[in-house]
Amino acid sequence: SLHDIDDVESAISESARVLDEHGRLCLAIVHPLNSAGGFVGEASDSPFTIPGSYLESSIYVDHLARDGREMTFVSAHRSIEAYTEPLTQSGLMIERLREPRLPDAAVTGEHSRRWQRVPMFLHIRAVKRTRAS
């Protein structure tokens, strides 16, 4: 839920503060590319476009309906740097950064297949630096 927190910098700073030396903070967030744009069309080869700015933070709304239930999600788009800079400024060192692929088993149709071309999530693991580093 870090991607939905208003004050990301303070949340990361407080997380770093309470970590033990060599402790790790793991983030699993909506990939900023995903929150910046979208597919034009439903086909698996639909172009993915970013109509506004990837670099500027913004708020976006997703309306979903499944099994007769409707949900609305209000989220914040931020660039990768909006997460990585607070990590390093809080004394954490990025140890690993991943953009996991949507596995074949998760693809159930033409609509889902396009998500194998664009990352849905971003995983970051950061470690608290030692006092000597």
Mean pLDDT of the chain: 90
Whether the per-residue pLDDT at 112 is higher than 80: the answer is no
Predicted pLDDT of residue 44: 84
Q: What is the pTM of this model?
A: 0.84
Buried b (16+ CB within 10 A) or exposed e, 40-53: eeeebeeeeeeeee
Cα separation of 61 and 30, whole Å?
A: 13
pLDDT digits (tens, 9 = 90+) for 52-75: 999 999 998 989 999 999 999 889
Query: C-alpha 74: how far from its chain's center?
Result: 14
pLDDT band at 130 (very low <50, low <70, confident <90, very high): confident
- Give me the numbers of helices (H) and strands (E) for the chain, helices first please: 4, 7
Q: Which helix (H) or strand (E) holds 56?
A: none
Cα separation of 115 and 128, whole Å?
A: 33
Whether the per-residue pLDDT at 45 is higher than 60: the answer is yes
